[in-house]
Amino acid sequence: MNPKPYDSLRRKLVLPFVALGFAVSSLLSLITFALVADLEERAIERTLRVQLESFRNRRQTNPDALPPSASLLHAHPLPSPQFPQLKTVPLRDDRITRLMAEQHEYSVLAARVGEEPFALLYDRSYVTSSLRKLALFLVLGTGLMTLLSFIIGNRLAGKVVKPIGKLLGDITAQSMVSGLDQASRPRLAAEDYPNDDIGRLVRAVEAFSLRLYGFVEREGYFAADVAHELRTPIAVIRGTAEVLVEYPALPEAVRQRLHTIQRQAVRMGQILEAMLLLAREEAEGSDPACAVAELVEDIAADSRLSLADGSIRLVCELDAHPILPVERSLVYVVVANLLRNACAHTREGTISLRLEADRLIIEDTGVGIPQERFSTLFQRHVKGEESVGYGLGLSIVARVTERLGWRVTIASEPGSGTQVSLLFHPDKFNRLDGPA
């Protein structure tokens, strides 16, 4: 799964500000344009009606009075040979019509002056040009306001985001510190932040970090103490079993039980080391190297002892002998838990382990896994109906494989068995997959 693209908080703050500036300036521009256009129309209408009324009054006093004529206003008797389009204009005092003629747009008022029909034409070229200039000005103004909104929003967002960026840098720096000494305790210098919501957030994060650090510190010391206290008794049990096995007069049944004790002591040591490695953030010591084939054979041999009734046959196929740069104890925990899980869910049949150069495949003829359980397989305390454990084995597998960067794929159907593939690709994978 590809990670989600980074979504900047600064951009989230700037974009609404810019959108608001654009919306407000656009709305004001539209309102301004509409008001100006309406005023122009009202002015043209008033001019036409005033000139018509003035012409009528002059004709009443002087029948030979000339119709009004100006740079934008003309009067023509109807029908007019110059403007044949006027024949479609109705003779109504209350109606002003728009007309295109000679590549000009006119507002026309046609009415009778006395008994003679006249048409008053107002050339709208100047009005149209003025409105176009106004529209251009408003568009430029909207763009300028949007740019200004971006500049102001960017500066305001910068002031808001700056302490958050500093907090992120401080937390990142603290996350790079390892160890449990006093110097590694998280300190965010809350006094360097403003006394606002960001400052409150910093103080809350620092308090939580200190509390979490205390918990991790106690857990780390506990793990170290457990390791120190258990290593010696485990070594004593293992050494004692090794000595007792060498007695020649020892009954064979007792000798086999001592071998079991010896192997289980080794297993306890491996599990202890693995748990301690998981408890540490980074592996310590020299360069590890694990011979996987040898380890798989040892685990298979231990498992055969628990399958002594013969209902399940364990087959081990070593097609390759890879050497992995990981701690043996970690590989042991993963393989042992996967094999133990296969044994727990197989009543009879065959369990096969096939080791290849880049993977280990464990296949059984067990009861299989229902599809609805795949999403919870690697969760703690989640176990199947056949399991008698505590539901921790696969969750430990998940932790270890995530730590190593390996990949686990599972293919299974109820009643048809299960195939688990453990892929050794530390540089390519860093996740756990569900059903293949």
The pLDDT tens digits of the residues spanning 226-269 come to 766 777 788 888 788 888 888 888 888 888 888 888 878 877 87
Distance CA 323, CA 360 (A): 13
Cα Rg of the chain (Å, integer) = 45
Query: In the listed set 263, 285, 307, which residue is the last one of a domain according to the structure?
Result: 285
36 vs 229, more confident: 36
Least confident of 153-157, 193-197, 365-369: 193-197
Write down the pLDDT at residue 282: 53
Distance CA 162, CA 152 (A): 15
Is 166 within the bounds of a domain? Answer: no
Distance CA 11, CA 192 (A): 25
Look up tokens 């908080």; give the residue. 9
Query: In the listed set 268, 285, 302, which residue is the last one of a domain according to the structure?
Result: 285
* Position 434, amino acid: G
Q: Would you call 45 helix, strand, or coil by DSSP?
A: helix
Q: First-to-last CA distance in the chain?
A: 15
| pLDDT tier for residue 429 given thresholds of 50, 70 and 90 | very low
Q: Are residues 197 and 115 in the same domain?
A: no
For residue 153, give the nearest of 7, 8, 16, 6 by alpha carbon.
16
Per DSSP bridges, beta strands 349-355 and 312-318 are parallel
For residue 409, give the nearest of 370, 436, 375 by alpha carbon.
436
Query: In the listed set 254, 285, 316, which residue is the last one of a domain according to the structure?
Result: 285
- Residue 384 CA to its chain's centroid (Å): 33
Q: Are residues 208 and 97 in the same domain?
A: no
Tens of pLDDT, residue by residue over 324-369, are: 888 888 888 889 888 888 888 888 888 999 999 899 999 998 888 8
For residue 435, what is the DSSP state?
Answer: B
For residue 158, give the nearest of 148, 166, 170 by alpha carbon.
166
Q: Are residues 308 and 331 in the same domain?
A: yes
Ranges of beta strands (E only) in 325-398 are: 349-355, 359-364
Least confident of 102-116, 182-196, 327-341: 182-196
| pLDDT tier for residue 76 given thresholds of 50, 70 and 90 | confident
* Position 331, amino acid: V
Is 156 within the bounds of a domain? Answer: no
Q: Specify the CATH number for the domain of residue 212.
A: 1.10.287
222 vs 120, more confident: 120
φ, ψ for residue 318 (rounded to 5)? -105, 90
Please, which residues have CB within 8 angstroms of residue 259's CB and are 6 or more apart in sequence? 241, 245
Distance CA 13, CA 371 (A): 44
The predicted model scores a pTM of: 0.50
Decide if 183 contacts 47 (C-beta within 8 A). no
Least confident of 129-143, 211-225, 372-386: 372-386
Look up tokens 């763009």; give the residue. 143
Is 150 within the bounds of a domain? Answer: no
Q: What is the mean pLDDT of the chain?
A: 79
Distance CA 180, CA 92 (A): 97
Residue 3 has pLDDT above 80, yes or no: no
Is 31 within the bounds of a domain? Answer: yes
Domain that holds residue 136: 9-145
Please, which residues have CB within 8 angstroms of residue 190's CB and are 6 or more apart in sequence? 199, 202, 203, 206
Torsion from C-alpha of 38, 41, 47, 49, nearest 10 degrees: -100
Q: Are residues 219 and 266 in the same domain?
A: yes
101 vs 29, more confident: 29
Please, which residues have CB within 8 angstroms of residue 120's CB and are 6 or more apart in sequence? 48, 51, 52, 55, 67, 68, 73, 74, 75, 108, 109, 110, 111
Q: Pull the structure tokens for residue 317.
A: 């196929």
Is 162 within the bounds of a domain? Answer: no
Give the CB-side neighbour count of residue 325, counting CA atoms within 13 A.
8
Q: Are residues 305 and 229 in the same domain?
A: no
Per DSSP bridges, beta strands 359-364 and 323-324 are unpaired
Q: Are residues 132 and 182 in the same domain?
A: no
Q: Are residues 299 and 409 in the same domain?
A: yes
Is 153 within the bounds of a domain? Answer: no
For residue 353, give the nearest of 387, 403, 303, 414 by alpha carbon.
303
286 vs 315, more confident: 315
Q: Are residues 281 and 326 in the same domain?
A: no
Burial grade of 109 (CB within 10 A; 0-12, 13-18, 19 or more)? buried
How many domains does the structure of the chain reveal? 3
Is 172 within the bounds of a domain? Answer: no
Decide if 331 contacts 290 (C-beta within 8 A). yes
Ranges of beta strands (E only) in 90-170 are: 97-101, 104-113, 116-123
Q: Are residues 31 and 114 in the same domain?
A: yes
Q: Specify the CATH number for the domain of residue 409.
A: 3.30.565.10
Element (H, E) at 77: strand 73-77
Is 362 within the bounds of a domain? Answer: yes
Tens of pLDDT, residue by residue over 287-312, are: 688 899 998 998 888 888 777 667 88
Q: Are residues 138 and 17 in the same domain?
A: yes
Q: Are residues 90 and 187 in the same domain?
A: no
Q: Are residues 293 and 277 in the same domain?
A: no
Query: What Å distances lie between residue 117 and 47, 65, 93, 102, CA to CA?
Result: 19, 15, 11, 22
